[in-house]
Amino acid sequence: MIPYSLYSALRLTGALQYVTALHVCLFPLYLICVPHHLSLDMHMTFDLTTDLFNITNMRGKVAKFCIFKTVYRLGEDIIGTFNFSEGDIPCIQYSVSLQSEEEIQQGYQRHPDQSISVTGHGRHLESCLHTASSHFSLPVPLNVTPGFSTDIVTLRWRLHFEFVTSREPMEPPTVLQNQSEVTLWTGAEHVDVDTFSWNLPIKVLPTNPALTSYVSQFTGTNSINI
């Protein structure tokens, strides 16, 4: 493969086309040996590009969201970061949920107004008032179904975001120079807030069957002693 240092340098200079051409010239046998659909899946799941999103509502910018890729395999972790320091609106709380959407084609629906079935597979909830940056990690379970589409049903995946923001500026607590190191800060009892949500489509692909069979050999038990 291309040395990581060379690959990084070329990406920083914006020479994406040159990197692709160099990869083909140096490793023609590798490209011939790997089936097209497998090489495409590898490119999608190991892409080093970063997606940046500005999270805004009607009052202004809330945060900047960064996610390293939007294509995952079963068993991988979805990692994203938030930068609230560049926001104009205080964000009090956010949550991220991994969800699957199952949509039945109209000709096969039991009811004319049958809605899309949404199932949650994991959730991260965090209070982030006066937080400069934050991150989350959501694992894609090994026992779920990858995305697919047929003439009857379509299964899609997404990240569902929910944000709770303050309508008014909220100043951080101040500590005087001659004050004790131990400081107790009491939050506001009443805050006028706005809530909004956002859905980010992602793709979930199958994983190596050996990995799934290896994990399925183990059994776990949980107990609580009081």
Please report, for the chain, the start and end positions of each structural domain, with discontinuous segments joined by +: 49-171+191-213
Q: Point out which residues pair with 33 in neighbouring strands.
A: none
Q: Cβ neighbours of residue 149 under 8 Å, at least 6 residues apart? A: 155
pLDDT digits (tens, 9 = 90+) for 124-177: 999 999 999 999 999 999 999 999 999 999 999 999 999 999 998 888 777 677
Average per-residue pLDDT for the chain = 78
Q: Which helix (H) or strand (E) holds 18?
A: helix 16-26
Which residue ranges of the chain lie beneath pLDDT 70? 1-48, 175, 179-181, 212-226
* Topology classification of domain 49-171+191-213: Immunoglobulin-like (2.60.40)
Output the pLDDT for position 220: 61
For the question of whether the overall pTM of this predicted structure is more than 0.85, the answer is no
Distance from C-alpha of 215 to C-alpha of 212, rounded to nearest angstrom: 5
Output the pLDDT for position 210: 73
Output the pLDDT for position 145: 94
Angle made by CA atoms 155, 219, 124, in degrees to the nearest 5:
50
